[in-house]
């Protein structure tokens, strides 16, 4: 529903400077289409780059009405609150948006289209897209993705919200810079809003979750050749007590390899200090043992973790390099932060392609971002 060229306004009430706004922040970082304004009353008038570190020139305004001068066509809910329910403060701005002729896109669990008040303000030439809905026609997975000729790299995280989608998108961008065929399979609200396709995994009944991933991967692979790499966005974490998403992702996409994503220095599950994260080498072994099961072609090589993407957002360059070097020594795998600069993403891509048995030609590194 949301076209790549539609000018959008992001509703980020109170989320512009923290992880509650991770959906909107991801769109600001990765959406190629126009974002004409951001709504966050507490940050109104501020510099987007100064607040977020994202190098994009977008005005920050206090309410939806103030954004209309910039010509948005779609209002996108950029918040990802715990439980996915509609924050009370958003309702008025959604009504203003609909009354102004804008359409609405939302990845909340609360279905805005089912809200009688909001639906009554949506006219025939507008739409409300609740993307967090189970796709129709799902079946139980049967390992069909294993027959694809393209490589399938699944990102798995040591915790939630560590940058799995960002790592995927950075590696897709690196591949395209280098002239390699790469595609992204979104499995969460931000990934779907950015790419326009995918499956909202947390809206799918558990019996059909692996089948939904399988369907999305098969669709993404249509027309892809043997040198194409599919990067599948991970969800949740094997280490988190409230997460069950990793297993259906593994079963559904039948990965040829993994990219492990970890936040530098984190040693326990966020918000659960009593639950320690295992050593990375131990976690890698567990992932690989689990992935060796449930494959439709057990004679083929079992998938391995190919590299580690490290989230070093709050570290200096020297600290980031030191942390990455320590993880490389512990795991024997290439480790770098693909969001930090182009060469880091290129380095991870090269490691993945080499370990997947794909010959990588000589290419020139891009200069790091200043």
CA pair distance 154, 170, nearest whole angstrom: 14
Split at pLDDT 50, 70, 90, the class of 83 is confident
Portions of the chain given CATH number 3.40.50.720: 8-130
| Whether the predicted pLDDT of 362 surpasses 70 | no
Quick one: pLDDT at residue 370? 35
pTM over 0.85: yes
- pLDDT tens digits for 273-307? 999 999 999 999 999 999 999 998 888 889 999 99
| Whether the predicted pLDDT of 366 surpasses 50 | no
| Phi and psi angles of residue 308, each rounded to the nearest 5 degrees, phi first | -125, 120
Radius of gyration of the chain (CA): 20
According to DSSP H, which parts of the chain are helical? 22-30, 48-52, 64-67, 91-99, 116-120, 164-177, 189-195, 206-220, 246-253, 280-291, 317-331, 342-355
* Contacts made by residues 321-325, CB under 8 angstroms, sequence distance 24+: 323/264, 323/265, 324/264
- Per DSSP bridges, beta strands 103-106 and 74-77 are parallel
**What would the mean pLDDT of 216-221 be, rounded to a whole number?**
97
| Whether the predicted pLDDT of 9 surpasses 50 | yes
- pLDDT tens digits for 309-343? 999 998 999 999 999 999 999 999 999 999 999 99
CATH node for 144-355:
3.40.50.300
User: In CATH, which superfamily holds the domain spanning 8-130?
Assistant: NAD(P)-binding Rossmann-like Domain (3.40.50.720)
The length of the chain in residues reads 370
| Whether the predicted pLDDT of 363 surpasses 50 | no
Portions of the chain given CATH number 3.40.50.300: 144-355
% the chain with pLDDT above 70: 96
Half-sphere exposure of 148 (CA within 13 A, CB side): 29
| Whether the predicted pLDDT of 139 surpasses 90 | yes
């Amino acid at each position: 529903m949301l076209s790549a060229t539609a000018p959008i306004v992001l509703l980020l009430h109170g989320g512009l400077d923290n992880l509650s706004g991770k959906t909107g922040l991801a769109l600001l970082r990765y959406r190629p289409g126009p974002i004409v304004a951001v709504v966050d009353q507490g940050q109104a008038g501020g510099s987007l780059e100064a607040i977020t570190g994202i190098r994009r020139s977008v005005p920050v305004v206090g309410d939806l009405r103030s954004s209309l001068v910039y010509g948005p066509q779609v209002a996108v809910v950029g918040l990802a609150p715990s439980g996915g329910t509609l924050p009370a403060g958003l309702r008025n701005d959604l009504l203003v948006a609909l009354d102004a002729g804008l359409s609405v896109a939302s990845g909340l669990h609360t279905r805005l289209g089912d809200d009688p008040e909001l639906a009554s303000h949506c006219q025939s030439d507008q739409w409300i897209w609740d993307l967090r809905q189970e796709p129709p026609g799902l079946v139980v997975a049967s390992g069909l993705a294993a027959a694809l000729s393209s490589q399938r790299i699944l990102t798995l995280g040591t915790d939630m919200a560590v940058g799995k989608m960002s790592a995927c998108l950075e590696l897709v961008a690196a591949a395209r810079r280098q002239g390699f065929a790469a595609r992204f399979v979104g499995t969460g609200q931000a990934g779907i809003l950015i790419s326009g396709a995918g499956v909202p995994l947390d809206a799918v009944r558990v019996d059909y979750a692996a089948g939904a991933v399988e369907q999305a991967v098969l669709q993404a692979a249509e027309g892809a050749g043997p040198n194409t790499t599919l990067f599948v966005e991970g969800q949740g974490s094997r280490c988190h007590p409230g997460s069950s998403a990793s297993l259906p992702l593994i079963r559904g996409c039948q990965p040829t390899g993994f990219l492990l994503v970890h936040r530098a220095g984190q040693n326990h599950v966020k918000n659960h200090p009593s639950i320690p994260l295992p050593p990375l080498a131990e976690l890698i072994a567990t992932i690989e043992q689990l992935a060796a099961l449930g494959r439709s072609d057990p004679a083929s090589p079992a998938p391995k973790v190919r590299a580690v993407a490290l989230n070093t957002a709050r570290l200096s360059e020297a600290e980031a390099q030191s942390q990455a070097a320590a993880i490389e020594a512990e795991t024997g795998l290439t480790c770098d932060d693909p969001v930090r600069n182009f060469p880091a993403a290129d380095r991870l891509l090269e490691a993945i392609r080499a370990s997947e048995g794909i010959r990588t030609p000589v290419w020139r590194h891009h200069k790091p971002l200043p």
